[in-house]
Amino acid sequence: MTQSYFPIFWDTDSGTALVVGGGENAARKVRLLVAARARVHVVAPTAGEEIQAFAEEDRIILSRRPVGEDDIAGAAIVIAATGDNDVDSYCAAIAQAHGVKVNVVDRPDLSSFIVPSIVDRSPILVAISSAGTSPVLARRIRERIEASLSPNLGKLAEFAASLRSTVAERLNDGRKRRAFWELFLDGYGAEGVLENRPDAGRQAADELLGALARDEKPKGRVTLVGAGPGAADLLTLRALRALQQADIIVYDALVGPEILDLARRDAFRLFVGKAKGRHSYSQDRINGILIDEARRGSSVVRLKGGDPFVFGRGGEEVAALRNAEIDVDVIPGITAATGAAAALRLPLTQRDLANVVSFATAHPAAGKDEPDFAALADPNQTAVIYMGKTKAAEITTALIKLGRRPDTPVAVIENATLSNQRILTGPLCDLPGIAAISDLTGPALIVIGDVVAEADLTGAETFAQTATKDRAVA
């Protein structure tokens, strides 16, 4: 039967930790104990470099001799890590006789406690144990927890500690204090602290305390979140946190179901993208929804494909929210260009081939009839064109006229990073052929430049072939 354990945390001020042994196993435990600011006594006839260095820095006491009964009897806990069965067994027996808790490395049968693997966000500590059933599984779990907890979680815990007395002063009702902590820790104040902006944390705490004290609804807020190019695991950790705190998520067509699945379960989801048979929401209407929801006190996430500030109209939304005096944060996302580049191992810049990369759109700027491609003429430039599919012929004509070689390599990537990713390639002069490809209906990027020749284009179709095939079918 599997051994059972009860987890406890040992107070390092309560006594001395004795480590018996001077080798690598001992050093590993000494390192953890020193990090926890424990008083450490190492007893070993010889000790490795790391333990010696700790002793020279006065961070531990090192006794270069064999271990004796008094060492063990005087310790609060003992870790035996000599690797010598006789010595380790001796330590275990003496410790048990004196009622001292003992761990023998890799010998649960001789141990009265085991040392868990930990995720350290001091003062927050997560301890993980599989009770020896599967150390590899325990390590996997540790990695997952490690990745899901902000590196600044400890700062947040300390920040919360520094707020305690203020909260107690300003809110005399226990229910309100609890509401404060829940709202604060789920909200943008805590997020600010995690992002190294303690001032934002203090301001949010102050506003929240005021609202709760006056029995008002706390202020809402909008976060523009970049959802990345499609694959759900290309979200940033910050975006994931925002999704898990949202009351309402306002999202576009480019945001897939796998990403929405990561949101808080009871968050309200509102689709405002273009869908067949239905008018899409106008930008004004979207701005209106964001403003109304925030005024109602909601924590609103405006979720957009790629990055909110790359052809995402994020700037317009920020301006509208600012005008309405609503607080707004922006969380960047991986834009389609870098997502597609990674998927194709296509370097967007490369010494000798491209020292400039431009993200452009084939749609004309406001007040202009035609898009202006002059900025994309430089042959040492990689041009990534968003929303360019229907403008392939115009782009080609314009760029060749501006002096780009007709044989400049081009890649078109549809549904980049998704399971249905599709790649087409060919020389610039053949690019207009894509207009005739009837099933190229997903979001697609056009990448133009010599770096395309460096990409991994396995499985790519060519513009000419696919276009011809399509015409034959039609």
Find how far residue 245's CA is from the centre of its chain.
15
Does 371 participate in binding ligand SAH (rule CB under 6 A)?
no
Does 444 participate in binding ligand SAH (rule CB under 6 A)?
yes
User: Cβ of residue 194: shortest distance to ligand SAH, in angstroms?
Assistant: 24
Does 115 participate in binding ligand SAH (rule CB under 6 A)?
no
Q: Choose which of 111, 335, 382, 425 interacts with ligand SAH (CB under 6 A).
A: 335
Which helix (H) or strand (E) segment holds residue 91: the answer is helix 85-98
Does 235 participate in binding ligand SAH (rule CB under 6 A)?
no
Contact (Cβ atoms closer than 8 angstroms) between residue 154 and residue 124: yes
Q: Choose which of 116, 192, 218, 229 interacts with ligand SAH (CB under 6 A).
A: 229
Decide if 274 is catalytic: yes
Does 40 participate in binding ligand SAH (rule CB under 6 A)?
no
Q: How many CA atoms lie within 13 A of 76 on its CB side?
A: 12
Size, binding site for ligand SAH by CB under 6 A: 24
386 burial (CB, 10 Å; 0-12 / 13-18 / 19+) is buried
* Smaller CB separation from ligand SAH, 424 or 445: 445
Does 460 participate in binding ligand SAH (rule CB under 6 A)?
no
Q: Which residue is nearest to ligand SAH (CB)?
A: 306
* Smaller CB separation from ligand SAH, 194 or 416: 416
Contact (Cβ atoms closer than 8 angstroms) between residue 91 and residue 67: yes
User: How far separated are the first and last CA of the chain, in Å rounded?
Assistant: 69
* Residue 376, token pair as written in the block: 């994309």
Contact (Cβ atoms closer than 8 angstroms) between residue 330 and residue 250: no
**Which listed residue (71, 88, 247, 252) is catalytic?**
252
Find how far residue 175's CA is from the centre of its chain.
33
Which helix (H) or strand (E) segment holds residue 59: the answer is none
User: Cβ of residue 415: shortest distance to ligand SAH, in angstroms?
Assistant: 5
**Which listed residue (217, 274, 401, 469) is catalytic?**
274
Contacting ligand SAH within 292-321 (CB under 6 A): 304-307, 310-312
Does 332 participate in binding ligand SAH (rule CB under 6 A)?
no
Question: Count of CB atoms within 10 A of residue 228's CB?
Answer: 27
Contacting ligand SAH within 243-262 (CB under 6 A): 254
CA distance 306 to 313: 12
123 burial (CB, 10 Å; 0-12 / 13-18 / 19+) is exposed
Decide if 252 is catalytic: yes
User: Cβ of residue 334: shortest distance to ligand SAH, in angstroms?
Assistant: 8
Catalytic residue numbers read 252, 274
Binding site for ligand SAH (CB under 6 A): 229-230, 254, 304-307, 310-312, 335-336, 340, 386-387, 413-418, 443-445
